[in-house]
Every structure is written in C-alpha cells, then in structure tokens.
Chains A and B, each alone.
Chain A
Amino acid sequence: MPKGKVYFEVDLCKGCSLCVSFCPQHILYQDKTEINKSGYNIIKVSEPEKCIGCAFCAMMCPDSVIKVEVDK
C-alpha cells in the first residue's frame, strides 16, 4: 500500500517538468507521446506504489495541477 497518492488535473498541466525534477522517488515522467487540451506533453506516474506522499511535486507545481493524499 503506497504511503501517498497523486492526482493530476491533466488539462491544467503545462508540461514544465518541475514536479519530475523534484520527486525524490523519481517516479514522475513526461509522456512525449500524449498531449492535453492545451497541447502540452503531460506528466504521468511510472510507479505509483513508490509514492511516499511528500507532496514536493504538488508544492513545486506552479499551476496547482497535483493533489496529494496520504495514509492517515
């Protein structure tokens, strides 16, 4: 059971990749094959079970794309 879970509001993402850079678990990546409604390559989670719920990704995201939940 992963400690944290992230949700992406995909259409708000501008593909800046700050979240990818700051994820300490290195489980975020930019999918160069998929774009959202605004034409940006979106970010996806490669290994969600490794998420520790630190919320660094959400903190660094300038566009409030990411919501983070953690185990109580």
Chain B
Amino acid sequence: MAKVLMKGNEAIAVAALKGGIDAFFGYPITPQNEIPEYLSKHLLAAGKVFVQAESEVAAINMVYGAAGAGARVMTSSSSPGIALKQEGISYIAGAELPCVIVSVMRGGPGLGGIQPSQADYYQATRGGGNGDYQLIVYAPETIQETIDIMKESFDIADYYRNPVLVLVDGLIGQMMETVDFDKPVKKRFIPAKDYITTGTANHPGRNIVNSLFLDPVELEQHNFQLQRKYQQIKNNETKYEMINMENPKYVIVAYGTMSRICRSAIETLKEEGIEVGMIRPISLWPYPKAAFNEIPEGVKGILCAEMSMGQMLDDVMISDKGRHEIGFFGRVGGMVPEPEEIVDAIKNFKDKVVK
C-alpha cells in the first residue's frame, strides 16, 4: 500500500480500525479530539459502536461494560481525562478485562496546558488507580511506530486480559508524517473468551465480571494471580531500542518525542567527537531494566531526559543499580527542548548529576 501523509491522532484512529476495534467510548479533550472525531464517522459507517460519553468517567465505564461483554474496546483522552479514568481502569485491571487506552499527554498538573508533555509517566506506570495492578504501557516515538503498536494492542490486551495504554504526547498527536498502515505486525493466538457476559443461554454456566473479593484469602490469591500474569508480560513484552552503543562516553535514556530530539543531539555530539548512546524504552511497563546490563564499560554517566520534572528518572536509577552517575534533563509545561539543549546537558554533564 502507498504511504500516506497523516496527522498522528488520525493515524491512531485508522490504526484502531485496522487493529479490529469493535467499539469506542470517549470524551473530547485537547489535544486528541481528532481520534473520537475520526472514529465517530468511520465506526458508525462500519456498523460498529461509537458513543461520545458524558465524561471520561462514563466513557471508561462503558469500556468496562463492553469489554466484559466480549468486545474489542478503546477509549482515548489526555492527561486530566486519564486522571478521571483511574477508578475505571483499576476495576478493569482487577476484573481482568482487555481494552486499549490512548493518552495524548499535555502539561500538568491540574488543568495545566495543552502543549506536549511526558509528566504522566507515574500516572501510567505507578498505578494511577488503587491497588496492585499494572497496565501494559507503550511509548512510541513516531507516528509509524504508534500505528504498528496500535494495531497489535487489541490482540495484546485480549491475550493477557489486561488494559494496554498507548502513551504519546501532543506533538505526536498533532504532527503529520508519512506512514504505511499495512506493515505486518505480530499475530497472536487469542483463546476463546469464556469469561464474557453474553447471557447464560450462550455459554456454559454463569459468567460474572467482578473485582470484589471480600474474603482476604481470596483477594490475596487473586492478587497473586495478577502478579503471575504481570511476570509473564515482563518476560514476553518488554520492548526497547539501543542506539549508538558501540563505544559511548555517555548514555541517554529517553522515550517518545524526547528520544527523537535526543537522536539529533547524538548526531551533533558525534560530529564534535563525543560518542553518546541511547536506551530508548518502547515499553514503559514492563520497563527494560535488562537494557542497563548491556551498557558497555567506560560510560561516564547516564542522562535521563524527559519532558517532566523527573518521573522515569526513578526507573533509570532503579535499573542502573548505582553503577553510574545519573544526570537529569527536563523541560515541562509544554516546553519542547531543542537538540542543542541536550548537547549542552551532555557537555555539562557534571551540572546535571542527580544528588
């Protein structure tokens, strides 16, 4: 198929259709409105389900109901709206239902701003909602990568019976790039959904979709079961990329839009004779801790670069286990850094070291 030039948000919507979406429930919020707008036209035209809900809270609960009824469901929002969804997401994870959630991050906290941000890393990977649960979180850096991940997400969610969060920022959502929607993606065998509520006339026994286990013995066992699943996900779904890691002096850790800015910085530094490599997490949960074991000898320091005040920084420190000095570079509030700022941060690495 020919490549097309498309806006990120629209591409996410098209990719969802290619990925086999049955139903979308969402609410308008800047900067992701092209997603529900595109799906409102194309889902209804395909005889599928689209509802603009009355709030992000209502939308995630519609997702919960539809997922429990066996559909391949999706919602999308941005940072403050994802905050509203946390209750529903915890219930969906606790009830072990599949769904795809797209977050197009904007500045925070609170109403914040509408410009790009990466300040929802904690929200995405450290719960957000109550209890011990995890989302499978992907952070693509290009629209193409977003499309490929979106296409696989519905299968991944179904396979593990777990929500998948595709985390982009307003820049990826709003920019345009040439993309190919027909790149093949990994196909998974999805077992028949024997847990869904389609009516007792349609399956053996009685199905109950539920996250309530009042007996502590039962609830603990349920949590152990969830943890076994998360271990399986860690074993199978960790995704990352290593860039320029033959003989680096410094290693940058960055994801999404920030990693693209850092690629430019790495090129500039190379021209100046400073070799800098990069670990680019593609799955934020499970976090690619093992990548840090692959850092070669002779690296002077690791620079964590994010559009936040230092959220992925925690995982960088945990993964490095104190082997290297760690520096931090961050811009927030919607400020998107120039590659030169990263170049300077590497050159003045000592000033960036986290005490």
A touches B (Cβ under 8 A): no
* Chain B interface residues toward A at CB < 8 A: none
